[in-house]
Structure formats: structure tokens, C-alpha cells
Amino acid sequence: MLLNKLKNLSRFQKQLIIFSVDFFLLPSVLFLSFATRYGYWYLPHTDFIFWLTLGSSIIGSSIFVFFGLYKSVTRYVGFQAIWLIVKAVSIYALVWGVIFLAGFGVPRSVVFINWILSILIIVGIRIAAKWVITRAARKQNTVQSGHNPKRVLIYGAGHAGVHLAGALTYSSEFIATGFIDDLKELQGNSILGLKVFSIDQISKVIHEHKIDEVLLAIPSAPRSKRFNIISLLEPFSVKVRMLPGVEDLVGGRVSVDDLHEVKIEDLLGRDSVPANQELLGKNITGKIVLVTGAGGSIGAEICRQVLSLKPKTLILFEINELALYKIEKKLSTNNLNQIDIYPILGSTLSKPRLNSVFNYFNVDTVYHTAAYKHVPMVEFNNTEGVDNNIFGTLNCSQAAIDNGVDTFVLISTDKAVRPTNTMGATKRIAELILQALSSTQNNTKFTMVRFGNVLDSSGSVIPLFKEQIKDGGPITVTDKNIFRYFMTISEAVELVIQAGAMGAGGEVFVLDMGEPVSIVSLAKKMIRLSGLVLKDEINPDGDIEIEYIGLRPGEKLYEELLIGDNTFSTDNALIMRAREDMVSWEKLQPILDDLNKVVESCDQEKIRMLLLKLVPDFKPQCEIKDILYKKI
């Protein structure tokens, strides 16, 4: 095929072909200009033809080379290349006109006509060549890939959408069929040859044009706007992809590679509240900060945000060697401010290790995230769950007091409220420990921040659902009526840091996580937005089925964030201050001593009894006889 032969030519050979086309084209345009001027085919005398031909070719080609016209790749000719051609042709027409007006008495109108026709024909040939090459390349790629390109609709006919449509011109994976836009002045018009439809026409367009995917090109839109659009698209079972936020698009350049799957946070439909920069830096900037559980989902994000707030030193305290290695490597790669980072292996159950680290580094601020959080896992390993979550917190908090730590922030959970599982009970006791210790001294400020599930954390349903959809299903859901609170990891951590800076000592802060989300509805959304069809009684030939497997040990249908109704607002609308009952250290300490003894003896019956004593609201779903490991 001719195009394949041209494609295999060297860059210099291709440039030589384009140069030759222009060299012989310019005289032809001149003859056409004379014919246009006189109204008939004008053939000047022989000498004039020679100078006309030679003069236009030499003058024009020289100027075109000077302007770098032959450095442009024909397949990617765009506005800048066209503008360069216009400038080069204008200079050529002017120089040729001046010479031949003076030397040969050429009519002035011919000079003007030559200028116009040269621009139109030279630009037109390049655009036509671009069109032919692009279509041939797309056809060839389709044949090689063995599948047809997907028909896509671009939502957003703004700057990003237009650039995306231009990028899709060279894609073998997608064919753009049109735009959807809210602006009435754009609707009905064409951009890059693609019609702009209104939002009311989206159903008709998707069905008539057999749309496979919708690409959201609205990077500056708030999350609530994206949520509304995604909700609108959900019933059509088209795959939805989107461009990242406007801050991630550098210099206005948009490529197909920028597209990604719809983020789960866009399904929550809530805009974040701007952070208070003063609060963010209060306990971090210029301070020595230590994060326990630094390799976990929350701990790692706290480390990343702390690093960006320019602490004097960041200490990563982690028991898992691999997790510590990974987070230290990531942070070191992004350590633009050359902050001192120290990866420390250690367990919160080793009080000597904690005292040694706190004392050596003279720690100012502690974010305590280290805990066992997986409900069924802790339910089957009560002894370790109690030991780690309760006595690990006790050791950290006492080490903080003994070594003069200014601020200690505990990451708590909604499962601590009226717990039905051991993990929730242990986290509630961890809160009671900090409240009690806070009342015994004023040197270390203890603050607790309570929130629900974070998206894409380890053990979250979101990564599980994604993997199950990728594997063809089924998606496993515990119960049809299960609801959960969700928040992005980055947003939760940003609020945790601010809440920690608000505390005066002993407060419980609760993050407003919006409305609880139906897990079944979330699963259905993820199926549809993957371009797949839910398989159920209505659609037995669908793609992905939802399988209900029953509640796991200790799991609740609904989670809560508050024990009582005594809440107070703060300067941040998403952070509430809760006033809840507490236990004095005098009453708490002896029970903790007893609990420590029965943990050492692995007495499950007594462990359960003491948990119930410390947390009267604890309503365990699992009987001791149901626990897998009853004696270890």
C-alpha cells in the first residue's frame, strides 16, 4: 500500500516530498491567479513563464524553509502550524509581488489573488493529507488490534473537551461522535466537526449513535456537579471515564492517557470544605512529628500530608517491615523540602521502645493510627485485638506524657459507638483511656477524632468490588440493607489534622461524613459505570451478579458516629465536637490492670466480661463459643 511505503520513509525523505510538492505547486497557483484575474486561461510569453515559474518556486521554497514549514509533522498539523503557513505564504506573496510588480508590470490584483489562493491551497493540501493519513492509520490500527474503536460522547465542550476531541483524532481506541454541554449558546453548533447536544438529548444520542463510553471533560467542576452527571448517566450502562482535576492538567494539554475510571469519591456527591491552613500547620510546621502505624492506609496519608506541611522531622513508627520500607521510599521520593525522615521499626506494645524513641527525638506531636481494624479478623483474634488496640494506645499515651509530647491525636472509628464487635469495643476503650489521662495532667493534649470508612483503604469494599468486577463477578455484599459512611482518605486526614489542632485536651471530634451510602446501590453504580449490566431476575443475561453472603461476625447494618446528642459545631462545617460520658482514671486503671492479666492468660470469658464492664453499650453479636480461637 502506498501509505505504508510513505510511512516507512525516513523523515528527510518525507520532508523532501513535501518540499517538491510546494516547489511545483507555487507556479501552478500563479497561473491560476492570472486566469482568475483575466477571466480566461492566460498563457504569458515564454520568457515570462520561465521567470514566473523559477521566481515563485525559488522565492517561496526559500522562505518556507526559513520559517521551518517542513519541520511540522503532517499528521499532527494544527492551528500553530497553519498560522506558521499563513505567515510564510504572506511573506512570499509580498516579496514576489514587489519583484514582479517592478520588473514585469504584473497587475496588483494578481499579487493579492496569488496570496489568497496560495494560503488556501497549501493549507488545504496539508489538511487533506492529515485526514487521509489519520484515517488510514486508524483503519490499520483497528485491523491490527482486532476490534473496532469505541464510540464515545464527550461531556463538556469547553477548553478541555475540545482538546480531548482533538487528541481522539489520532486514537485507534476511540471515535468521538459528539459533545454534550449545558450552555445553550453552544447547543446545536459544531466543534471540530462534532455536534453539540443538550443534556435533554443524552438518552437519544446514546441510543442512536450506539455510544460505548462517555468521557467527562469537566476538570474544574465541583464534586457535586460530577455526581449529578454520573447519576444521570448511570441508567444507560455506558462506561464513564473522566479527565483529572484542573490542577493535574499541565499547560492546558490533554491526552487520551489522562482519562481514568470514575473515582468513587465522585459517587458521594459532596464538595469538600476548604482547609484552615493555620490549623493544618499548628501542630506540624517546624515540629517533630511521629506517626504510629505509618505504613497503613490512614497512617501513610497522614505522613504524606504532614511532609507537605514542612515539619522539622517526621518519624515513621511501624511494626511491619515491608510497609515501613514502602512508605519511607515513597516519602523520600517526594521529599522536596529535604525534611529529615526516620523509619523506625517497633511495636506499640513495647513501652521501652516507645520511651526510647520519644525521648531521643524529643517528639512534639503524635498521630496514633496503629491498630487492628478489620472487624472479623479481630473477632477471631480477641486477645491480640485487645492487647494491640487498648494496651498499645495506653503505652503510647503514657510514653507521650512521660516524654513531654505536646499533642497526641488518636484516630478512632464509628465502630466505637455502641459497638457490636470486639474491635469497636477496644477503640471505645482507647478513647476512654485518653479522656481519663487528659484529666490527670495538662502537659500533653489528648484529642480523639472519630470517623467512618475511608475509600480505597485496606479492607474496604471498594477495592474488593473493583477486583470482582474485573474478574467477571459476582460482587459479594453482606446484606441488602447494609449502609456505611464513606469519605476519601485525603479529606479525612486533612480534617483529622485540623481537628487535632482544635483540641484543648480530652475532646472527641467527629467528622461529618454526609449521608450513609447503601452498599448495594454502590455496587450497582460501579457495575453500570463500568459499562456492564447488572445480572438479576429482570436481566438474567446481564454481566455481573450481586451475591448476598450474610453479615460477617460482629458486623452491623448501620454505623453511628455519636454516642449521645451533645454535639457542638466548630469553625469547620465538617468537624463536630462531641461531649460524651467518660470514666475517671481512678476507676479505669484497676479494670485495665485486670484486663491486662486476663489477656496474658488468654482467658476469653474474662476478656469479654471486662470489655462489657468498661463499655456498657457493647452488644456483642458473637458468643465466646463462636470465636474460632478460644484459648489463644
121, pLDDT greater than 60: yes
418 pLDDT tier (thresholds 50, 70, 90)? confident
CA dist list (Å): 87 to 61, 322, 384: 14, 60, 76
Burial (Cβ within 10 Å: 0-12, 13-18, ≥19) of residue 397: buried
Q: By C-alpha distance, which of 389, 385, 408, 388 is closest to 398?
A: 408
Residue 249: per-residue pLDDT: 43
For 253, phi then psi, to 5°, come to: -80, 135
> Which cell is 39 given?
477571466
Which pLDDT does position 461 carry in this prediction?
74
Q: What's the confidence (pLDDT) of residue 612?
A: 92
pLDDT band for 251, please (50, 70, 90 cuts): very low
Among 417, 423, 420, 425, which Cα is nearest to 380's? Answer: 423
Contacts for 90 with CB less than 8 Å, ≥ 6 apart: 115, 119
Cα 447 → chain centroid: 30
Torsion angle of alpha carbons 463, 467, 470, 473, nearest 10°? -110
Percent of the chain with pLDDT over 90: 25
Residue carrying C-alpha cell 470544605:
273
The verdict on pTM exceeding 0.75 is no
Cα separation, 533 vs 459, whole angstroms? 26
Distance between CA atoms of residues 143 and 307, nearest Å: 49
Report the distance separating Cα 69 and Cα 417, nearest Å.
71
Segment 269-274 shows an average pLDDT of 63
The residue-averaged pLDDT of 31-54 equals 67
**Catalytic residue status for 415:** yes
Look over the chain and give the mean of its residue pLDDT values, rounded to a whole number. 79
One-letter amino acid at 330 equals K
Could you tell me the pLDDT band of residue 61, with boundaries at 50, 70 and 90? confident
Residue 317 is predicted with a pLDDT of 97
pLDDT tens readout for residues 167-198: 777 666 778 888 888 888 888 888 877 888 88
φ, ψ dihedrals at 221, nearest 5° = -70, 140
388: its cell numbers:
494491640
What are the tens digits of pLDDT across the range 449-489?
A: 988 777 666 556 777 888 888 888 888 888 888 877 777 78
pLDDT the model gives residue 13: 67
pLDDT classification of 106: cutoffs 50, 70, 90: low
The H or E element that residue 341 is part of is strand 340-345
Q: Lowest mean pLDDT: which of 34-43, 205-214, 474-483, 576-585?
A: 34-43
Q: Residue type at 531? A: G
pLDDT at 276: 78
Does residue 15 carry a pLDDT above 80? Answer: no
DSSP state of 387: I
Mean pLDDT, residues 601-626: 84
Exactly one of 239, 287, 415, 556 is catalytic; which is it? 415
Cα(611)–Cα(123) distance, integer angstroms: 81
